[in-house]
Structure formats: structure tokens, C-alpha cells
């Protein structure tokens, strides 16, 4: 289980400021400048080979898996250092990654996996030998995830899997997926679900790419046709996978609510205001002021809630309010950017405005699913109404 990264010194020993500077120096020296986010690609995300190369670079220098315990090869950072880690990535305009191995599978295996699973998979997540996709949603199970129907039937030392997953981000670039599958029949639909690791090169797996409105081809459908999965790929107890899925979604919600992306969008706004001279129009500036103040106050709220999470370890349902608000703020900002772009807003692709190259279509489209993925904002509001405001159910 010991990995090269574990040998590195414990960065928690550093002061927050020193830690920040070290990571900043590392990013300046090692992240390829041509892959940085800019006005053309404000929310740029790496994939395939470039993504793997970057994750490997992080790993080789001891900067991978910030939240994992050190004994599993992670950085074992305290929560406030994790915050700094994320802030510095944002600050340096480092392209994002969809690293489900780090953020989702690793913590699950550490909490629910058996020794053999940990020993086999954990180092391969870190070294990028395996790349991971998350197989949760299905055509009939989106916001209502527990309605999932993909079936795994025991046959000797195997599960035979049949069914279909959808919105499986980057399945077309990944070697494995972790999936929720139905293994038993119970009165409640949350029961009888299991958490299964599936090798995507198995016979019977078909992957189809879905093109999205932003012109990306990251989303996929994954079909399972009598796919044989070894029983040792079951994580946690049979039929108890829902608990695992739920506990996973707990921690990640605070990062999904981060102001980083909205803040990038507002930097586009400022650039557009300057390049188009609309910063001289009081009416336009009043509307800019609303968005700027919204982001400013949201940062204060985010810092407050993170501090509370550090202090109490509590990650209650109120954290969902962050994601709901910031996803809609991001959308409002990107909509405003279209207005500032005037007729350029109708162009699909890059446009020159003043001295700067923008991609107005893309920044707008990329913001659309922010209120959909990770549980739609409507569902999040339902949860907040019941769990926080104690409003009556039907």
C-alpha cells in the first residue's frame, strides 16, 4: 500500500502560508502554460492523455489526492489546507479534471472496501493505471436515482450485469467504472442496490458518446449485455450500496458549491466591460454591481460554511444551499456576458472583441448543466425545504 507519495514529508507541518507558496511554486513550474484556462476556455477541463499526464505529475511530486489519509498514499491535508489547495488551482488557472478515482472511489474504498480491494485499486488510482467513471444515473433514474434498474444476478463466482447507464462522464476515456446495480428485490427501492466495480474492457460493454450543447463529447451511455463481473468486485455489503452512495455525496457537496467557476465567469464579465466600453454605461454597471456583490457575499458565505465544517465536522443538508445558489449565479453571470457580447453572442466559437479572444457560446453553454448535475436544483430545494426548514411533506 505504501506509495512513493507517502515518502514525501507531511505538508500539514507547514504553516498555511508556506503551504500555499509551495503549491503555487509547484503549479507555476509544472502546469503546462498552454493548458491554462483563459477567456477562450474559462472552464477548460483536461481529458485523455493530457489529463493522465497532469495527474501523474501531481502524483510524482506528492500533490495528488489531497483529502486521502497519508497511510493510503494521499496527502492527508487538513480541511483548511485542502481549501488552499483548491484556491491555488483556481488562482493559477489550472484546467479542471474529472478525477472520480480521487474524489469518489478512493474515499469509498477506504471506508467500505475490503483489504484486498484497497491493496489492488488504491495504488492504481494514484498511479493512473486505472481511470474511473461513475455509473449511477440511468435513463429512468436521474434525480430519482434509487429507481435504477441495471441488474446484477449472481452466477457462481460472477455477477451477470444487464442494463444501461447514462451521463457517465468520460467513460470513453476510462478503464473502469464503479456502478450502482440492483441485486435484490425489497419493498423500498433504496434497498437491494449494490456498489460494483466493472472493468470497461469486459465483453458485453458498449459505450456510446453523447454530444452536449457546449460541443463536448465527454458524456456517455454505457450498455451492459451479459457482462460477467467477478464477485470480489462487490464493494461493501450486498444490497447495501445505497448507504455507500449517500455517504459519498456528503463530502463532495462542499466543493461543488465553491465560488471558483462563477468567479472565472465574472472575470470574463470584467474583460468584456472593458473591451466593449460598456463600463461607461451606468445602467449596465448597475447590473454588473448586482452580480459582483452576489459573488462577493457568496464568497463570505462559502468561507463561513467551510469554517463551520472544519470546526464541527458537520456537513449538514444546509450545504446544498451553496450549490443551488452558486450554480444559478454562474448562469446569471454567463447570461449577462452574452448581453455584453452584443451581436457576437450569436457566434458559435471564438470571437475577437477588442484585444481579447472570447468564446461566448461555450461559457454560456457550459454553465447550463450546473443546476442539473449532482441532483437538480429542484430536488435540492425539496431536500432543503424538508430537512432544514421542516416544511411538511405531501
Annotated catalytic sites, by residue? 252
Write out the residues near other proteins by the rule CB under 8 A.
285-286, 288-290, 292-293, 296-298, 300-301, 303-304, 318, 321, 324-325, 378, 381-382, 384-386, 388-394
How far apart are CB 393 and other proteins at their closest, in Å? 6
Are the C-beta atoms of 376 and 319 separated by less than 8 Å? no
CB of 380 to other proteins, least distance (A): 8
Nearer to other proteins, 29 or 393 (CB): 393
**How distant is the alpha carbon of residue 177 from its chain centre?**
15
Shortest Å, Cβ 308 to other proteins: 11
CB closer to other proteins out of 187 and 392? 392
Cα–Cα nearest to 276, from 343, 365, 347, 364: 343
Cα 105–chain centre separation: 12
Q: Is 262 left (phi over 0), alpha (psi -120 to 50) or beta?
A: alpha
> CA–CA distance from 56 to each of 78, 99, 301, 317 (Å)?
22, 12, 34, 35
Burial 319-335 (b: 16+ CB within 10 A, else e): bbbbbbbbbbbbbbbbe
- Which C-beta is closer to other proteins: that of 18 or that of 378? 378
Our CB check for other proteins shows the closer of 240 and 299 to be: 299
Please state, in angstroms and rounded to a whole number, the distance separating the CA atoms of residues 379 and 394. 15
DSSP 3-state of 102: helix
Tell me how far, at minimum, the Cβ of 273 lies from other proteins, in Å: 11
Rounded to a whole number of angstroms, the minimum distance from the CB of residue 292 to other proteins is: 6
The angle at the Cα of 22, spanning 18 to 27, to the nearest 5 degrees, equals 145
What three-state secondary structure class fits 349?
coil
Identity of the residue, 178 or 325, whose beta carbon is nearer to other proteins in the bound complex: 325
CB neighbour class for 2 (10 Å; exposed up to 12, middle 13-18, buried from 19): exposed
The CB-of-375 to other proteins minimum distance in angstroms stands at 14
Q: Rounded CA gap, 181 and 162, in Å? A: 9
Choose between 17 and 390: whose C-beta lies nearer to other proteins. 390
Amino acid at each position: 500500500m505504501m506509495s512513493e507519495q507517502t515518502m514525501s514529508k507531511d505538508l500539514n507541518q507547514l504553516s498555511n502560508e508556506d503551504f500555499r507558496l509551495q503549491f503555487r511554486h509547484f503549479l507555476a513550474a509544472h502546469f503546462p502554460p498552454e493548458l491554462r484556462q483563459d477567456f477562450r476556455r474559462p472552464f477548460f477541463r483536461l481529458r485523455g492523455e493530457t489529463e493522465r499526464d497532469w495527474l501523474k505529475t501531481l502524483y510524482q511530486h506528492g500533490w495528488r489526492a489531497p483529502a486521502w489519509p497519508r497511510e493510503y498514499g494521499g496527502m492527508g491535508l487538513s480541511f483548511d489546507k485542502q481549501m488552499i489547495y483548491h484556491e491555488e488551482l483556481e488562482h493559477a488557472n489550472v484546467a479542471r479534471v474529472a478525477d472520480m478515482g480521487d474524489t469518489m472511489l478512493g474515499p469509498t474504498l477506504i471506508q467500505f472496501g475490503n483489504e484486498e480491494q484497497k491493496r489492488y485499486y488504491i495504488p492504481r488510482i494514484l498511479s493512473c493505471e486505472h481511470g474511473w467513471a461513475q455509473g449511477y444515473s440511468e435513463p429512468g433514474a436521474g434525480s430519482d436515482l434509487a429507481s435504477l434498474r441495471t441488474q446484477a444476478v449472481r452466477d457462481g463466482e460472477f455477477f451477470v450485469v444487464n442494463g444501461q447507464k447514462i451521463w457517465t462522464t468520460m467513460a470513453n476515456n476510462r478503464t473502469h467504472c464503479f456502478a450502482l446495480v440492483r441485486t435484490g428485490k425489497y419493498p423500498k427501492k433504496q434497498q437491494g442496490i449494490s456498489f460494483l466495480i466493472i472493468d470497461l474492457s469486459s465483453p458485453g460493454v458498449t459505450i456510446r458518446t453523447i454530444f452536449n450543447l457546449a460541443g463536448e463529447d465527454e458524456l456517455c451511455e454505457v450498455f451492459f449485455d451479459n457482462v460477467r463481473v467477478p464477485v470480489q468486485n462487490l464493494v461493501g455489503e450486498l444490497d447495501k450500496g445505497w448507504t455507500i452512495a449517500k455517504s459519498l455525496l456528503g463530502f463532495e457537496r462542499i466543493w461543488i458549491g465553491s465560488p471558483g467557476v462563477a468567479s472565472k465567469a465574472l472575470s470574463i464579465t470584467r474583460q468584456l466591460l472593458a473591451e466593449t466600453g460598456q463600463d461607461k454605461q451606468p445602467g449596465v454597471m448597475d447590473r454588473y454591481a448586482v452580480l459582483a456583490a452576489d459573488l462577493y457575499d457568496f464568497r463570505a458565505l462559502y468561507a463561513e460554511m467551510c469554517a463551520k465544517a472544519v470546526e464541527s465536522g458537520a456537513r449538514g443538508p444546509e450545504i446544498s444551499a451553496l450549490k443551488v445558489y452558486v450554480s444559478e449565479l454562474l448562469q446569471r453571470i454567463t447570461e449577462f456576458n452574452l448581453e455584453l457580447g452584443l451581436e457576437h453572442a450569436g457566434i458559435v466559437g471564438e470571437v475577437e472583441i477588442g484585444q481579447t479572444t472570447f468564446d461566448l457560446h461555450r461559457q454560456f453553454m457550459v454553465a447550463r448543466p450546473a443546476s442539473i448535475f449532482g441532483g437538480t436544483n429542484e430536488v435540492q430545494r425539496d431536500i432543503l425545504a424538508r430537512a432544514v426548514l421542516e416544511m411538511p411533506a405531501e
